[in-house]
Copies of this chain bind each other. A is one copy, B any other.
Amino acid sequence: MRIGELSERTGTPRRLLRYYEEQGLILPDRCANGYRSYDERLVDRILQIRGLLDAGLPTRIIKQILPCLDKPRLIHFSDATPEMVATLENERDRMTRRIECLTRNREAISQYLDAVLGNHATS
């Protein structure tokens, strides 16, 4: 598909789809006339990227972790340099801390809402 369709299906401005490409997050094919041609799977990929960006990860990190999320089973051992492994462990831990922080604060918000809305069903 071309950039317009991908843009609509992911709710992402074309400009950003080109930006993600510029940042090395995606690598669409090119048609004979130079138009970008996106694979069907890139729909999910874009949503995944946007989710991670929204969760506070910079494109630099997303670029690093995407390859190992690509094929959950198919491991590319060739890419697994010690630095890469260290980066991944580091990011995994950062994500864990983020998740804990978000969970804790979401719980507090939920409790507040429950109280305010008179919904006293304690989880």
User: Which residues of A come within 8 Å of B, CB atoms?
Assistant: 48, 51-56, 65, 68-69, 72, 75, 77, 80, 85, 88-89, 91-92, 94-99, 101-103, 105-106, 108-113, 115-117
Q: Which residues of B contact A91 (CB under 8 A)?
A: 109
Given A55-B56, A96-B106, A98-B98; 16 other pairs, CB 8 A cutoff: A48-B101, A51-B97, A51-B98, A52-B105, A54-B94, A54-B97, A55-B55, A65-B109, A69-B105, A69-B109, A69-B112, A72-B108, A77-B116, A85-B117, A92-B109, A98-B102
In the complex, what residue of chain B is closest to A92 when comparing beta carbons? B109
Name the contact of A85 in the complex, choosing from B55, B68, B101, B116 (C-beta under 8 A).
B116
A55 touches B101 (CB 8 A): yes
Name the contact of A95 in the complex, choosing from B52, B88, B109 (C-beta under 8 A).
B109
Q: How far is the CB of A117 from chain B (nearest CB, A)?
A: 7
